[in-house]
Homo-oligomer: A and B are copies of this chain.
């Protein structure tokens, strides 16, 4: 079986090199082989267990309790939560997840399209895409679906949303909104959901996609005379870093440009930041928009 060097393990599992080494020192796991240069080589099974560990950490477990446990014990930890925390989801959503799981991309696309036509863009996002994304995220945590399935889902939804938004055509009304995610956040579904909610209201949305450095955001916001900068954070993004980055961005932006921030990473944290509009749910977006239009 193949074994990976430490840099590859970092890329594959998302666990930083420093952390991998310190776990080895403290918990005696992982225990990579060494090559002739004395460098770590992680066997495939250990990488697999590391991925499992990362899922458990995202669920709120702590390293000290789980890193040195056996793979079987870890697998057992996944089950109980899956019964306790399982959202009794809509049958429509369960059916869609099943399509994702089975790689039935053609049917998935058709079914989503159907819902889109039936509900209209805004309700499609609020009532279907949002809960479905959450459910997919949970299913990934539970190990019920893999990375490939999650990617497949994201791509299909992205295609639909982008097509719909694109077909709305350009708008001339204010506000002008600049949308992006910050460095380290690569998930853009949240951004697209925001755009799909705002664009039908005649808002001019310009997206920069994922991971724009702070300096470039502020520069672009000034140059493009934007009224609002909107950033989004997925559940995978550490809340602490999110608040830090938002504060930095707020400081760097001129006061005249509003900053809107939302996404799962900020949910449930009571912390508020001065002069930042926090968006807890998609509904808040339309309220915030109405408020902006009233005062401008």
* Residues of A contacting B: mostly: helix
- Given contacts A208-B151, A248-B2, whether A146 and B216 have CB atoms under 8 Å apart is yes
Stoichiometry, as copies per complex, reads 2
* Closest B residue to A244 using CB positions: B8
- Given contacts A166-B160, A170-B106, whether A154 and B2 have CB atoms under 8 Å apart is no
Residues of B within 8 A of A149 (CB): 220
* Closest B residue to A208 using CB positions: B151
Flag whether A158 is at the interface (Cβ < 8 A). yes
Which interface class (under 10, 10 to 19, 20 to 34, 35 or more) fits A?
A: 35 or more
Flag whether A251 is at the interface (Cβ < 8 A). yes
A208 touches B155 (CB 8 A): yes
A210 to B252, CA, bound (A): 30
B11 touches A184 (CB 8 A): yes
Flag whether A165 is at the interface (Cβ < 8 A). yes
Flag whether A255 is at the interface (Cβ < 8 A). no
B159 touches A219 (CB 8 A): no
A151 to B213, CA, bound (A): 11
Residues of B within 8 A of A155 (CB): 207-209
**Segment 226-275 of A: residues with Cβ below 8 Å from B:** 248, 251-252
A121 to B137, CA, bound (A): 34
Flag whether A120 is at the interface (Cβ < 8 A). no
B216 touches A147 (CB 8 A): yes
Q: How far is the CB of A29 from chain B (nearest CB, A)?
A: 20
B183 touches A12 (CB 8 A): yes
Most B CB contacts (10 A, CB to CB) among A12, A148, A155, A220 go to: A148
Could you list which residues of chain A lie within 8 angstroms of chain B, going by C-beta atoms?
Answer: 2, 8, 11-12, 44, 103, 105-106, 109-110, 146-149, 151-152, 154-155, 158-160, 162-163, 165-167, 170, 180, 183-184, 186, 206-217, 219-220, 223-224, 248, 251-252
15 A-B pairs, CB-CB below 8 angstroms? A2-B252, A44-B215, A103-B224, A105-B206, A106-B170, A146-B216, A146-B219, A146-B220, A147-B213, A148-B212, A149-B220, A155-B209, A159-B165, A162-B162, A162-B163
